[in-house]
Amino acid sequence: GQSLEQPSEVTAVEGAIVQINCTYQTSGFYGLSWYQQHDGGAPTFLSYNGLDGLEETGRFSSFLSRSDSYGYLLLQELQMKDSASYFCAVREADKIIFGKGTRLHILP
Amino acid sequence: GAVVSQHPSRVICKSGTSVKIECRSLDFQATTMFWYRQFPKQSLMLMATSNEGSKATYEQGVEKDKFLINHASLTLSTLTVTSAHPEDSSFYICSARDLEGVNEQFFGPGTRLTVL
């Protein structure tokens, strides 16, 4: 079966750094993605890791370790607009399976 | 960037009626489209995968006769919720992928369905 585990909620302070972890167990694995979703909105793509290592895009970075079935999303210089839900998602051949999401609360 | 639209954005219907939701890729050809369902504060649950010109592949537990999916062209897929009941009330989101974008999906804005 497939399972993706990520914390349900994380709280951080504006300007700080936060890391959201994701562990996965799937029958087939092509890569790990991260999506952001604001309340009432659609998910938007943040990053994709197909190989081990760190991918950086502006304030956001994502890491993957295939041997550990583990990845994380790192958000730096947090802004209030970063308050949202963040989903890790595994690409299995032809489809993407989403984790349950991490609700990020940012305090001023 | 790639844009996916959905119509309608909100729909309220009576129990027993059927509702059709359209998903369009506006500036690219979507060889594959996906339909998701999301309950409040929960994850996106993949319902089915549709490839242009072929039958949709449904995930386990999703009733294919209740959720009819048609992907008649490279820019349009439709989801019809047949004989809707209150438990079908949910946020339905489509996403699309082109030939090159195997690692990224572009999501539509979603359709909020409320069945009375």
Q: What is the pLDDT of residues B42-66, one digit of tens each?
A: 889 999 999 888 889 999 999 999 9
Residue to test with chain A: of B43, B49, B51, B94, most A Cβ within 10 A: B43
B99 vs B109, which has greater pLDDT? B109
- Contact residues on chain B for A42, CB-CB shorter than 8 A: 93, 107-110
**What one-character-per-residue DSSP string does A9-47 give?**
EEEEETT--EEEEEEEE-SS--EEEEEEE-TTS--EEEE
Q: What is the pLDDT of residues A57-101, one digit of tens each?
A: 899 999 999 999 999 999 999 999 999 999 999 988 778 889 999
Q: Do A97 and B106 touch (CB under 8 A)?
A: no
- Contact residues on chain A for B104, CB-CB shorter than 8 A: 33, 45, 48
Q: What average pLDDT does the segment A15-24 reach?
A: 97
Q: Average pLDDT over chain A, rounded to whole?
A: 93
Q: What is the pLDDT of residues B86-101, one digit of tens each?
A: 999 999 999 998 766 6
Q: Determine phi and psi for A82, rounding to 5 degrees.
A: -80, -5
Q: Do B102 and A91 touch (CB under 8 A)?
A: yes
